[in-house]
Amino acid sequence: MTTATPEAALLTRIAEALERLAPHTADQTDWLAHPAYVWTGSSARGVERLDAPALTLLRGIESQKERVVTNVERLAAGYAAHDMLLWGSRGMGKSALLRAAIRAADAAHPRRIALVQVAQEALSGVSALFAALGKVDRSFLVFIDDLGFEEGDGSGPRVLRSWLEGGVEARPANVRLAVTSNRRAIVGRSMAEQDDPINPRDIVDERLALADRFGLSVGFHNCDQEAYLAIIGGYAGEFELEWEPGDALEWSRRRGARSGRVAWQYVNELAGRAGKTL
């Protein structure tokens, strides 16, 4: 029997160490093991526990909640479901609602649906992600949070349209897209678009056409005082916290806004005052 030389043994150990350090590719990911994943552009990381509020705690967005939860439930059950665009005011629970809907659907259909979050800088690798997910007997909601394209970026919207409408790199049948944005048109509108003497509406119309390719478009609007206090009341009741409406309104005035996010920050403040954790 030939004995390996010290140099050969060293090279073998180096190769094994590099293999252990190499990131897992999409095809090596266990897509049945976790309720959620984070896609980096070339690989995926499983998330053991999906952090999301209970659906009952999401107040002030009842209509939006019903539509999103119903659509996610259909996807988990293997029925026809829509790609979703959740747009509108900051801090009104768009991403929290998606996470909560996935968690509820996973509880009703264990291991039949998962959330895959994709950062905007990882969008170039989504085609590889789709190729991997299409081979898995499970439904997936690919989630792109706070999406926006720079002025003059035509390639990004075109790629997104291709994913949604059957291009050569379209998402597979078991995958749906969920995008959140502060604007329904996804990308901002500049004054120059309105001053274009040739086609003043063409660019705006093109961007709205991109939004229209989502089967479900759900708007989230500014929170009025009644809804803001109802959100706080729901959380305070759940966590057994004492609170006063006047104090809650003063908190929002200091923050310069009323939203679900500001309400949750106030509840966090209440818990801190009471010496509790959330």
User: What does the pLDDT read at residue 2?
Assistant: 54
**Residues 181-199: tens digit of each pLDDT:** 887 767 554 434 444 444 4
User: What does the pLDDT read at residue 200?
Assistant: 46
The whole-angstrom separation of Cα 42 and Cα 37 is 13
Question: 8-22, 56-70, 160-174, 192-206: which has the highest mean pLDDT?
Answer: 56-70
What the block records as the tokens of 55 is 């659906």
User: What does the pLDDT read at residue 234?
Assistant: 93
Residue 8 confidence (pLDDT) above 80: no
Q: Let me know: does 187 contact 28? Beta carbons within 8 Å.
A: no
User: What does the pLDDT read at residue 205?
Assistant: 54
What the block records as the tokens of 229 is 């206090």
Residue 146 confidence (pLDDT) above 80: yes
The whole-angstrom separation of Cα 169 and Cα 142 is 14
**Residues 218-266: tens digit of each pLDDT:** 999 888 999 999 999 999 999 999 999 999 999 999 999 999 999 999 9
User: What does the pLDDT read at residue 154?
Assistant: 47
Residue 202 confidence (pLDDT) above 60: no
Tell me the pLDDT band of 150, cut-offs 50, 70 and 90.
Answer: low
Tell me the pLDDT band of 72, cut-offs 50, 70 and 90.
Answer: very high
The whole-angstrom separation of Cα 77 and Cα 70 is 11
**Residues 77-127: tens digit of each pLDDT:** 999 999 999 999 889 999 999 999 999 999 999 999 999 999 888 888 888
- Give me the residues paired with residue 216 across strands: 84
Sequence-distant (≥ 6) Cβ neighbours of residue 91 within 8 angstroms: 257, 259, 260, 261, 262
User: What does the pLDDT read at residue 82?
Assistant: 96
Tell me the pLDDT band of 31, cut-offs 50, 70 and 90.
Answer: very high
Query: What are the backbone angles phi and psi of residue 53, rounded to the nearest 5°?
Result: -75, 160
